[in-house]
Structure 1
Amino acid sequence: MSDAAPLTATEQELIEEFGNIYESYGLKRLQGLIVGLLLTQDDPASLDDMVALLNHSKGPISIAVRRLADIGLVRKVNGPINRRNYYAAHPDIFYNNFKFNMATVRKNRALAERLLNRIAAEGRAHQSATADNLEHMLRFYQLMESFYQDFSDEWAKVKAERRAAANGEA
């Protein structure tokens, strides 16, 4: 039986909304439900806790948790029973999600560059709708990368300020 406390209506809404968000981005709804759940928990949750609180089977939850751990959204932590696996939201969950999305931006920029170079080598760079669209794609993702880098730099400052405030520093 689960040791986790029952969920409040607000916690249930947060969990459902994360499931909806993940699903709307073409990801697994269950992954979103797990992320939402872990954001509501004061203590780490075991797979059994997740089964009970989310009313899903252990196998799919285990698979989803592994995938979420692979991309840095959740992490395995120690819990009260040694032979169980416990999980918590990663302390940098939102930034790690941002970095995951940034990897897609970089892949898209690299794809545009690679294909533009191929079109140029074929000698048809100035007469191709494909080349024009790839140039548009390249410029878009280059700009997005620069915004992401600026954001990353700013987030590091905000995070340091929050850490200092939590430690009572000026």
Structure 2
Amino acid sequence: MDGEKRLEQARERVIDAISQNMHLYGVTESVGRLYGALYFQEEPMTLDEMKEELGMSKTSMSTSVRNLVDLKMVGKVWRKGVRKDLYQAEPDWYQTFIDFFTIKWRAGVTINVSAMEKSLAELQFLIEHDQVEEQVKAQAQADIEKLTSALEYYDWLNRLVDSFESKEIFKFIPKNGSGA
């Protein structure tokens, strides 16, 4: 096997792994493949170049790139004299991890906290309302305790996300693993 073929095989193995890994976190495998392919590119690529490289339709490619841009895994790059948009993978895996998970975690926290706060208000109303049966009031009180505990978890998760975004997490878990 010649060197170019081996290089391609080594890259393809990693691209497949990235694609499968991203799929575990709710990102389609084709988007994962696109990120993997962009990761190995030395130069930014246009949508047409990506389309040719991966054999995807232009619409699918555009949607995939937008998804990766939203996740901050790919960014637009400007080049003098180039009229088409160019895209490049974020090369820093630590930053990619931080951006990917903090975006997902913040969205999850927002959805759940909003629902819990609305439900807490309704449950409190049930407890304070005279015409509600005592059994319902007792169940509402138990639910309030559960939701209050869950809100403490979401406060912790928000602080964890803050530590990723501020890079404070690296004081506790250094990038290089040596503790230095």
Q: Which residue of 1 aligns with 2:87?
A: 87
Gap regions ≥5 residues in structure 1: 163-170
Q: Quote how far apart the aligned CAs of 1:130 are.
A: 4.5
Q: Which residue of 1 aligns with 2:166?
A: 153
Gap regions ≥5 residues in structure 2: 128-135, 176-180
Name the larger-Rg structure: 2
Mapped contact 2:98–2:164 kept (Cα < 8 A): no
| CA distance in 2: counterparts of 1:48 and 1:77, whole angstroms | 15
- Deviation readout 1:137-160 (Å, 9 max, x if unpaired): 3232222222222333335877xx
Q: Which residue of 1 aligns with 2:61?
A: 61
Q: Quote how far apart the aligned CAs of 1:44 are.
A: 0.6
- Deviation readout 1:108-165 (Å, 9 max, x if unpaired): 233323322222122266424654543343232222222222333335877xxx9xxx
Identity level (%) = 25
Q: Which residue of 1 aligns with 2:155?
A: 142
Distance 1:136 1:36, change over 3 A: farther
Tell me the TM-score normalized by structure 2: 0.68
Mapped contact 1:105–1:141 kept (Cα < 8 A): no
| CA distance in 2: counterparts of 1:11 and 1:38, whole angstroms | 11
- Match for residue 112 of structure 1 among 108, 112, 116: 116
Mapped contact 2:20–2:32 kept (Cα < 8 A): yes
Q: Please provide the CA RMSD for this pair.
A: 3.2
Mapped contact 1:109–1:142 kept (Cα < 8 A): no
Mapped contact 1:11–1:40 kept (Cα < 8 A): yes
Distance 1:37 1:136, change over 3 A: farther
Q: Which residue of 2 aligns with 1:127?
A: 139
Mapped contact 1:116–1:125 kept (Cα < 8 A): no
| CA distance in 2: counterparts of 1:154 and 1:60, whole angstroms | 34
| CA distance in 2: counterparts of 1:49 and 1:14, whole angstroms | 20
Letter in 1 for 2:162: Q
Q: Quote how far apart the aligned CAs of 1:58 are.
A: 2.0
Distance 1:41 1:135, change over 3 A: same
Tell me the TM-score normalized by structure 1: 0.71
Q: Which residue of 2 aligns with 1:8?
A: 8
Aligned residue-pair number: 156
